[in-house]
A = this chain, B = another copy of it.
Amino acid sequence: MAKAGLTEREIIGVLTRRFDSKPKLPLGFDEDVAAFPTSPRGLVVLKTDMLVGHTDVPPGMTLGQAARKAVVATASDFAAKGVQPEGLLISLGLVPPVRLSTVNEIVAGLEKGAREYHCRIIGGDTSETDDLVIDCIGFGFSAAGRILRRDGAKPGDVVAVTGDFGRTTAGLQILLGKKKRWPHRFSKLISSVLLPSAKLEAGLKLAESGFVNGSIDSSDGLAWSLHEIARLSRVNIVLETIPVAPDVKMFAREQGLVPEELALFGGEEYELVLAIKRDGFANVRRRIPSLQKIGNVTIGSGNVIAPFGRSFRKIEPRGYEHFS
């Protein structure tokens, strides 16, 4: 029997082992972004995020929305590091024959995204491909000690998130389903997929506050993000609550699904997942009203524990591996 192929994470594992060698980089391959020193105290921060038609563009999403989403995904990684993206390069892979309207729609979506996150598109490349490819490369600058990391969470920290979870998983199920119409009360589920947004403003405020010990975006799902902080910081995370969005609870009830599953094991949800110093949490909470506490960091070795009904259970390090 043929051996199954490597998963996305196994591939990244191989790249990490091969490239993440000496001399030590300011940020490892495990991070949301890459960084390189420009001076003893300055860093250039870089990120590439490739959007591919058949895995990242669900039915119902326009080309313009797909292009904007490519920018959002990259901006979200900058948000997680608390760094303003200054500029973008775009590598476009387009399926021939390429119509002018296609290019214009993509350009409009890219411009919309760039405007929202106050960055500028400064270059790019285009190639002929079998499927839409939009590789969005962002860069920005940061002081070496200011950048938010995944690996600094400490026992006693408050675990917090910038918003509720589960909408993209629910919205994707709706879009992938056969039904043409859905009740208006589920419109936020759909728009969470088609018009996601990166929490850049929150990320910049978080970096400014000086109270954040661990930060990651939730593009691979809440459970995966919590595990990354726990694993890289060598701590446990004990959740008090799973932040399920109210309309996700409603959707889950109607569909006979477990709402917590939708919230934990979704993906492409661009919230920030944070470990914040306990004595700074009230301060940070005032600056970012959407912030909600969901648990605590404890001594441990990379586990994430969450309440299910009356009992606590370990959460698997399972994440989002595309919807194809």
Number of copies: 2
- Is the Cβ of B135 less than 8 Å from the Cβ of A46? no
Interface hit among A9-17, A152-160, A171-179, A223-231: A9-17
CB distance from A110 to the nearest CB of B (A): 8
- Is the Cβ of B89 less than 8 Å from the Cβ of A34? yes
Q: How far is the CA of A5 from the CA of B94 in the complex (A)?
A: 11
* B8, B38, B90, B123: the one within 8 Å of A126 (CB): B8
| B-chain residues with CB within 8 Å of residue A93 when the two chains form the complex | 50, 52, 133
- Is the Cβ of B55 less than 8 Å from the Cβ of A128? yes
A211: interface (CB < 8 Å): no
- Is the Cβ of A25 less than 8 Å from the Cβ of B103? no
A139: interface (CB < 8 Å): yes
Q: Pick from A4, A5, A100 the residue with the most CB of B within 10 Å.
A: A5
Instruction: Given the known inter-chain contacts A14-B100, A121-B19, please indicate yes or no for A52 contacting B5, CB distance below 8 A.
Output: no
* B3, B19, B47, B52: the one within 8 Å of A128 (CB): B52
- Is the Cβ of A139 less than 8 Å from the Cβ of B19? no
What's the interface size class on A, roughly? Answer: 35 or more
A1: interface (CB < 8 Å): no
- Is the Cβ of A48 less than 8 Å from the Cβ of B104? no
Q: How far is the CA of A55 from the CA of B127 in the complex (A)?
A: 9
CB distance from A311 to the nearest CB of B (A): 37
| B-chain residues with CB within 8 Å of residue A94 when the two chains form the complex | 11
Q: How far is the CA of A55 from the CA of B266 in the complex (A)?
A: 35
| B-chain residues with CB within 8 Å of residue A127 when the two chains form the complex | 8, 50-52, 55-56
A186: interface (CB < 8 Å): no
A184: interface (CB < 8 Å): no
A232: interface (CB < 8 Å): no
